[in-house]
Amino acid sequence: MTRIAIIDPQFDGTPDIELDEAGADTEFTILRPGYDPVSPADLDGADAVVNCRSRHYIPADLVAGMTTVKVVVQAGVGFNHIDLDACAARGIPVCNTPDYGTMEVADHAIGLMLALSRGIPTYAERLWTRDDAWGTHALPLPPVRRLSIRTFGVIGMGRIGTAAALRAKAFGMTVAFYDPFLPAGTELSFGFTRAATLEDLLAQADIVSVHCPLTPQTAQIIDDDAIAAMKPGAVLINTSRGGTVDLDAIERGLRSGKLNAAALDVLPREPLDRSHPLIAAWGAREGWLDGRLIITPHAAFYSPEGLADMRRLSTRAVMGYLTEGRLRSCVNLRELERHGHRFDA
């Protein structure tokens, strides 16, 4: 009997998709700790752990108590909340599921861009609350711009960044990107412009869309210096990780007008910290933010189809390793090798 613990799954009821993928000789333990941390006792006897939300950390002290766990799978893309080295020290591979939600997140990023660029939420809200809001003459207009004369700048041209860029190109936009990890010539395949540095990208992009993972190198990649390097009136979109941006810097950029608008699906602290000055001003509907800030609740990944893919792929990653020793998208291979464990990825 294979035992798999699922931490905070994004479904109610029985793990039917997981059972269909894993087979009947599998026992699933469903943990729903809310915002409380998971304890080693919760994982006692588990052969594998599937972690479903980035708010649940798997730190070294938890890993130390995972005496039976053979593999950890993050049901999602980001893994900065898992102690990769602690897992590697115990010979535990950590895998993620990067091939779910690509279309959903790309669509969400473009949807946020369209909402800001066309003033859609501003027009709708004014009509809900004011009788004199019909037409475009009576009230101050939202920051509407024509897309086909603008440049869509992508930070991180992985699966999602590429999908978002292709969507922007379909709107007639010029597309530029910065990604130091892609081989030379990638830009020629898509007809995009490649920026040699982040500063070069920011200087030419009207819309900056962040699609990089959160690493020590990308933490607060959008800070005061980055915003200062942007074109006046730039728009910032973030559907990657909240920690890739400095929320204080975004507030300063919006207040100064250097940033025309921002749309954030992820925040440095989740759920949102309503005591932060920017979040407080947004919640109070202060006039200086009218039509200039959209916040969505870390929902870019979601569709029923995408969620089903995530559940299926994460279970497949577990079973592939437990039954065949096959690793799928292992993110701590380097750490495993450093601790003397070798795997074929």
pLDDT (tens digit, 9 = 90+) per residue, 155-213? 999 999 999 999 999 999 999 999 999 999 989 989 999 999 999 999 999 999 999 99
188: Cβ–Cβ under 8 A, 6 or more apart, which residues? none
Q: Tell me what percent of the residues of the chain surpass a pLDDT of 90.
A: 82
Scored b (16 or more CB within 10 A) or e, 144-165 reads ebebeebbbbbbbbbbbbbbbb
43 and 19 together in one domain: yes
147: Cβ–Cβ under 8 A, 6 or more apart, which residues? 117, 171, 172, 173
Q: What is the pLDDT of residues 32-89, one digit of tens each?
A: 988 888 999 999 999 999 999 888 899 999 999 999 999 999 998 889 899 999 999 9
Neighbouring-strand partners of residue 82: 58
| Residue 123 domain flag | yes
328 and 261 together in one domain: no
92 and 128 together in one domain: no
Residue 275 is predicted with a pLDDT of 97
Identify the CATH number of the domain in which residue 149 sits. Answer: 3.40.50.720
What are the start-end ranges of the H helices in 230-303? 247-256, 277-283
Neighbouring-strand partners of residue 5: 29, 49
Question: Which is higher by pLDDT, 119 or 279?
Answer: 279
What is the domain count for the chain? 2
φ and ψ at 220, to 5 degrees?
50, 45
DSSP 149: G
96 and 111 together in one domain: no
Query: Which residues are the active-site residues?
Result: 241, 270, 298
Q: What average pLDDT does the structure give for the chain?
A: 94
| Residue 344 domain flag | no
| Residue 277 domain flag | yes
Antiparallel, parallel or unpaired: β 234-238 and 207-210: parallel
Give me 277's structure tokens. Answer: 């000055």
Amino acid at 21: E
120 and 238 together in one domain: yes
| Residue 118 domain flag | yes
d(CA 25, CA 1): 5
81 and 192 together in one domain: no
74 and 31 together in one domain: yes
| Residue 345 domain flag | no
57 and 170 together in one domain: no
Q: What is the pLDDT of residues 113-157, one digit of tens each?
A: 999 999 998 888 888 877 777 877 656 677 788 999 999 999 999
Owning domain of residue 262: 102-295
89 and 106 together in one domain: no
